[in-house]
Homo-oligomer: A and B are copies of this chain.
């Protein structure tokens, strides 16, 4: 499996603290040694750092850990490969441009018997993972439904993505983060949680390594920052645990929509 980390914030914010905890799970406190990646949105642009080395030993990961990039939306992933070898094209997050916006996505889980169910005709994957194919399939369905030009109603787009994610969930484990840079959605297959930090800010201590931060020193009173992760990253804060089928849509750090999907058990 893998682990996910994401952030949505109303001011450009660095994710060094959370990323420091996550990358420990890529070889030290966790078994996710088959590469890692992180996408930072800065306005409509984004940049994605990836490596096939374990995050705990990656030179580029160390650079990210010590070089704060401020961003309003971040998606990160550490990989324990199941479908597809350990190569750059199989490393998350994946990115495609749709409607002149960068869509970025990462998946934690594993699908089975999926090749015919989520076949694509227009948006093809580069690598061999079930994850990237599911991303391509979701975007292709969105493109087919909403057309080639950008729609006004992004909430309708994300509600549709939730139904598509629920279809993918019938094929196996599917925890997903997807973003167009402005909105960021989390869809829970089995493990996903989030925390929204706002004033009054307190102190937080990482679970995976001995680091404590005083957010009050790092923020202004108007900052709103949501962090999403597979498992809670800190040990002295209350994280919201999502249930299977739950989805949450964030915009500039705030929860703007939420929903539950109910999946028919294919084994019934």
Q: Which residues of A contact B (CB under 8 A)?
A: 42-52, 59-60, 63, 67, 87-91, 95-97, 99-102, 121-127, 148, 150
Query: Is there an interface contact between A87 and B42, defined as CB atoms closer than 8 Å?
Result: yes
Give Cα distance in the complex from A45 to B37, angstroms: 13
Contacts of A125 in B (CB 8 A): 100
Within the complex, the shortest CB–CB distance from A122 to chain B, in Å, comes to 5
Q: Find A43's partner among B44, B89, B124 (CB 8 Å cutoff).
A: B89
> Hey, which chain B residues are within 8 Å of A121, CB to CB?
148
> In whole angstroms, how far apart are the Cα atoms of A60 and B40 in the complex?
14
- Using known A-B contacts A63-B63, A121-B148, A122-B148, determine if residue A43 contacts B88 with beta carbons closer than 8 Å: yes
**The one of B45, B48, B63, B124 that contacts A126, using a Cβ cutoff of 8 Å:** B45
A45-B96 in contact (CB<8A): no
Tell me how far the C-beta of A74 lies from the nearest C-beta in chain B, rounded to whole angstroms.
14
Inter-chain contacts of A96 with B (CB < 8 A): 97
Q: Are A45 and B97 in contact (CB under 8 A)?
A: no
